Amino acid sequence: MGKKKTGVIGILTGGGDVPGLNPAIRAVTIRAIREGYQVIGLRRGWAGVTEIIREKDADNSLNYQSLTEESVNKAGRTGGTFLHTSRTKPSKMSKDDVPAYLKDKYITEENDLTPEVLKNLDWLGVDYLIPIGGDDTLSYAVRLFQEGLKVVAIPKTMDNDVPGTDYCIGFSTCVTRTIALTNSLRTIAGSHERFLVLEVFGRYAGFTAMLPTMAGAAHRCVIPEYKFDIEKLTELMTYDRNRNPSRYSVVLVSEGAMFEGGEMVFADRSTDAYGHAKLGGIGDLVASRIKELSAKHNNGKTVNTIDQKLGYMVRGGDPDAIDSVVPMAFGNLALDLLLKGIHGRLVVLKNGRYDNVPLDVVTGTKKVVNVDHFYDIERYRPKYENFEMKPLFIMTSEG
């Protein structure tokens, strides 16, 4: 085993759950223990780190736990995150969300609890932090690194929109589930000769609509990066349906897609800690409008729709092969960096190779579909050209 190194590594998962988080936790933990580190699982993302009570006899069981090979092996093949997660942002916490034991200290409407987070991690003896999350979770990791904490981060999000990396944990399983669910619903659409309108995740980036469509799961897709004309979409959907011997057509609608001249559609006006209002409803509106407009493009006959929001169905269950292998590699990459004394980095996949980039890339840019390269704005579908030397999932962090 060689000479043992000592230290404490904290690991957490933040934001939405995806399949592949538990394999990443497992990879970090097993490798770290074998290198001589203690591993602490910080529970409920940044919430658990914030709510730690720095007293010897305090009950912090909801905030952190010691990780062992046995505990991570049991969870390593499953979906979700056994450490749990949250969308907490300690640097921007409302007065109502401040932990009870700190309410006398933080009394303004918006509070920065970063000093408490740093004290809590120090109290736990955490020498190194490995956060796993999307750009929101990792943006706070950037803040902690700037405060002097040794951080190496792992990207995850089924939207695949963390800048700097071609791949984020959860994306492959999301695409796999989307294709499978779409294919299952085809039988209903074909039986009733309807339009099939499926709303999928994707607030600012349309990768989760583009890749399944590129794989043949749908005829058309509309994405956040390009506002669409509902009249044109209806005409295209009718054309596809009439050419199909089974008399149906399919469109994937990103939750952040917008009508021409319109804005994003929200389920309500509440926002999370990062200021994001809950999206939802664009699929319903698209389904309603194309039904209304269908007769105009179908010889006066209205075409009914099947309207389904795939939502959490694509993020549940066990990870697929890619979301089992990539988290293993990402976890080991993170340990490689820590062993070399390198911090402030994001482990990534770029051009088919594992690598790492500066962590602050997550706050310095945005990753979205390059419409000019990959989206046909006349046909509302991906472009099927220039695939030579492209990586596995075609659309990279550089476009």
Q: What is the pLDDT of residue 277?
A: 62
What is residue 203's DSSP assignment? Answer: S
Q: Tens digits of per-residue pLDDT, 299-341?
A: 999 999 999 999 999 999 999 999 999 999 999 999 999 999 9
Please report the beta strands in 226-317, taking only residues with DSSP state E, as ranges in sequence order. 249-254, 266-271, 277-279, 305-309
Terminal CA-CA length for the chain: 43
Tell me the per-residue pLDDT of 49-88, one tens digit each, with 9 for 90 and over: 999 999 999 999 999 999 999 999 989 989 999 999 999 9
Mean pLDDT of 370-399: 88
In DSSP terms, which residues pair with 259 in a beta bridge? 228
Question: If you ran DSSP here, which 8-state letter would residue 276 be given?
Answer: P
For residue 256, the number of C-alpha atoms closer than 13 Å in the C-beta half-sphere is 18
| Tokens found for residue 229 | 């004309």
Phi, psi of 348 (to 5 degrees): -145, 165
Distances in Å between the alpha carbon of 295 and those of 194, 218, 234, 235?
13, 22, 10, 10
Q: Cα-atom radius of gyration of the chain, to the nearest Å?
A: 23
Active site residue 372: no
Running DSSP on this structure, what letter comes out for residue 55?
A: -
Percentage, residues of the chain above pLDDT 70: 94
Same fold for the domain at 8-169+317-364 and the one at 171-314+371-382?
yes
* Phi and psi, residue 257, nearest 5°: -65, 150
| pLDDT value of residue 396 | 75
| C-alpha closest to that of 129 among 115, 147, 111 | 147
Locate tokens 């998962």: which residue? Answer: 13
Q: What are phi and psi of 134, to 5 degrees?
A: -90, -165
1 pLDDT more than 50: no
Share of the chain above pLDDT 90, in %: 88
pLDDT value at residue 3: 45
Label residue 147 by pLDDT band (50, 70, 90).
Answer: very high
- Span 8-169+317-364: which CATH code? 3.40.50.450
Over residues 201-255, the pLDDT tens digits come to 999 999 999 999 999 999 999 999 999 999 999 999 999 999 999 999 999 999 9
Dig out the tokens for 2 from the structure: 């060689």
| pLDDT score at 314 | 95
The predicted-structure confidence for 261-307, as pLDDT tens digits, reads as follows 988 787 666 665 555 566 668 999 999 999 999 999 999 999 999 99
From start to end of the chain, where are the E strands? 8-13, 38-42, 64-66, 93-94, 110-111, 128-133, 150-155, 195-200, 220-222, 249-254, 266-271, 277-279, 305-309, 345-350, 353-358, 375-376, 381-382
Q: State both tokens at 119.
A: 């004290």
**Structural domain spans, the chain:** 8-169+317-364, 171-314+371-382
CATH class name, domain 171-314+371-382: alpha beta
Nearest-5° Cα angle at 399, 140 to 309 = 70
Catalytic residue among 159, 166, 307, 360, which? 159
The model's confidence at residue 2, banded by pLDDT at 50, 70 and 90, is very low
Beta bridge partners of 3: none
In degrees and rounded to multiples of 5, residue 204 shows phi and psi of -115, -15
The pLDDT confidence band at residue 40, using thresholds 50, 70 and 90, is: very high
Whole-angstrom Cα distance, residue 207 to residue 14?
21
User: Does the pLDDT at position 398 exceed 70?
Assistant: no
Average model confidence (pLDDT) across the chain: 93
Residue tagged 């979906």 (tokens): 79
State the CB neighbour count (10 A cutoff) for residue 330: 31
